[in-house]
Amino acid sequence: MNVELRHLRAFAAIGAEGTITGAAAVLHVSQPALSRTLEQLESRLGTRLVERTTRSLALTEAGTRLLAHATRILTQVDDALAEVTAGQRALRVGFAWAALGRHTVPLLRGWRHARPDAELRVFRPDDPEGALRRGEIDVAFVRSPSTPDRELASADLYLEQRVAAVPEDHPFARALTVRLGDLADRPVAICATASSTSVELWPTARRPDALDVANADEWLTAIATGDAIGVTTEATAHSQPHPGVRYVPITDTEPVAVRLVWPRSATHPATDAFREHARRLLR
- The strand pairing partners of 162, in sequence order, are 233
**What φ, ψ does residue 14 adopt, rounded to 5°?**
-65, -45
Residues 74, 96 share a domain:
no
pLDDT mean over 16-21: 90
User: Over the stretch 96-153, which tens digit does the pLDDT of each residue have?
Assistant: 888 999 999 999 999 999 999 999 999 999 889 989 988 889 999 999 888 888 889 9
Burial 162-185 (b: 16+ CB within 10 A, else e): bbbbbbeebebeeeeebebebbbe
Domain hosting residue 106, numbered range: 89-150+260-282
For the segment 7-28, the average pLDDT, to the nearest whole number, is: 92
Same domain flag for 171 and 250: yes
C-alpha–C-alpha distance, residues 226 and 211, integer Å: 12
* Residues 43, 81 within the same domain: yes
One domain for residues 145 and 269: yes
The 10s digit of each residue's pLDDT in 40-82 is: 999 999 999 999 876 778 999 999 999 988 988 888 888 788 7
Residues 126 and 182 in one domain: no
In degrees and rounded to multiples of 5, residue 262 shows phi and psi of -150, 155
Question: Do 267 and 142 share a structural domain?
Answer: yes
Let me know if residue 24 belongs to a domain.
yes
- Is residue 122 included in any domain, yes or no? yes
Do 111 and 38 lie in one domain? The reply is no
Run of H or E residues at 229: none
The residue that leads in pLDDT, 233 or 80, is: 233
Percent above pLDDT 70 for the chain: 99
Residue 258 has pLDDT above 70, yes or no: yes
Query: Same domain, yes or no, for 205 and 192?
Result: yes
The pLDDT assigned to 194 comes to: 75
Residue 265, helix vs strand vs coil: coil
Residue 54 confidence (pLDDT): 66
Is the separation of the CB atoms in 248 and 124 below 8 Å? no
Give the chain's mean pLDDT.
92
The continuous run of DSSP H or E covering 187 comes out as none
Model confidence at 213, pLDDT cuts 50, 70, 90, reads very high
**Per-residue DSSP letter, 145:** P
Of the three residues 37, 61, 85, the one that is the final residue of a domain is 85
Which comes out higher in pLDDT, residue 1 or 25?
A: 25
- What's the total number of domains in the chain? 3
Q: Which residues contact 6 (CB under 8 A, 6 or more apart)?
A: 37
Q: ∠ at Cα 218 (216, 224), nearest 5°?
A: 100
46 lies in some domain: yes
User: Given a cut of 70, is residue 211 above it in pLDDT?
Assistant: yes
Residues 93 and 113 in one domain: yes
3-state secondary structure (DSSP) of residue 217: helix
